[in-house]
């Protein structure tokens, strides 16, 4: 059976209102990577972003809530202390809202930040997602450098290219943002495309799960 690991970034509200009901309908799991951006930006777009209440609801529905830093910086440009603050602030905020953080991380902006990997290991994260298009060889790849493929827009080809890395042994990790995404239009996915693609996965017997579940299945 082919496995898809679904991830959704940046805590956009449509992930609760549109994405979660589609996933629940098919019995799919997923990981939602949360960040807060800057205070000013968040205040300007608050109606499109999830707060603790919405994230608690996602967790209550069985979804994994992971760390995507506090302000979504380029971690390669920050000091170790600054990166620690970025990661820990988000962890503490989730904890303050009664949310159990799933032990997985996604590098903001996508690419692997080698300077941050030791910190993430030290903080107990089991895996950190980057963006290289490839299958996820859970047993052998560097857990702090998990490949994944971003999908956005309405192009079927992008989606089918992303899922083709699932070869029956290794899962493909897919990155979505908002469905729709009104605050980050460059990573927007139309709801009708998303529903069509999830229906395809269901109809073709793909198993669709979150990152932590995928790790636990391999490690026993």
**Sites of contact with Zn ion (CB under 5 A):** 9-10
Closer CB to Zn ion, residue 8 or residue 28? 8
In whole angstroms, give the CA distance from residue 190 to residue 144.
31
Give the nearer residue to Zn ion in terms of CB position, either 9 or 101.
Answer: 9
Nearer CB in complex with Zn ion: 163/183 = 183
Q: Dihedral through CA 69, CA 73, CA 77, CA 80, nearest 10?
A: -20
Whole-Å CA distances, 123 to 73, 88, 105, 206 = 18, 9, 10, 32
How far, in Å, CA of 67 to CA of 44, rounded?
Answer: 22
Q: Which two tokens stand for residue 153?
A: 């827009």
Q: How far is the CB of 184 from Zn ion (least distance, A)?
A: 8
Asked whether 213 and 64 are in contact (CB, 8 A), the reply is yes
- Smallest separation, CB 106 to Zn ion (Å): 7
Least distance CB 72 / Zn ion (angstroms):
6
Smallest distance, Zn ion to C-beta of residue 31, A: 13
Q: Which of 33, 206 has the CB closer to Zn ion?
A: 33
Query: Which residue's Cβ lies closest to Zn ion?
Result: 9
How far, rounded to the nearest angstrom, does the alpha carbon of residue 56 sit from its chain's CA centroid?
16
């Amino acid at each position: 059976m082919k496995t898809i690991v679904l991830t959704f970034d940046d805590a956009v509200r449509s992930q609760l209102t549109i994405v979660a009901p589609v996933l629940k309908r098919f019995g799919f799991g997923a990981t939602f990577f949360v960040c807060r951006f800057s205070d000013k930006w968040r205040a300007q777009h608050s109606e499109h972003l999830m707060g603790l209440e919405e994230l608690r609801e996602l967790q209550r529905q069985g979804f994994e809530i992971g760390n995507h830093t506090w302000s979504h910086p380029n971690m390669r440009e920050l000091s170790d202390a600054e990166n620690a603050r970025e990661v820990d602030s988000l962890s503490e905020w989730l904890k303050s809202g009664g949310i159990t953080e799933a032990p997985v991380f996604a590098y903001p902006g996508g690419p692997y930040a080698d300077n941050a990997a030791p910190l993430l290991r030290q903080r107990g994260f089991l895996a950190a997602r980057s963006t290289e298009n490839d299958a996820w060889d859970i047993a052998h790849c560097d857990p702090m450098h998990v490949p994944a493929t971003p999908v956005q827009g309405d192009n079927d080809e992008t989606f089918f290219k992303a899922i083709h890395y699932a070869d029956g042994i290794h899962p493909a990790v897919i990155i979505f943002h908002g469905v729709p995404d009104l605050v980050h239009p460059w990573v927007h996915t139309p709801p009708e495309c998303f529903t069509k693609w999830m229906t395809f996965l269901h109809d073709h017997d793909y198993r669709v799960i979150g990152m932590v579940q995928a790790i636990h299945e391999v490690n026993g």
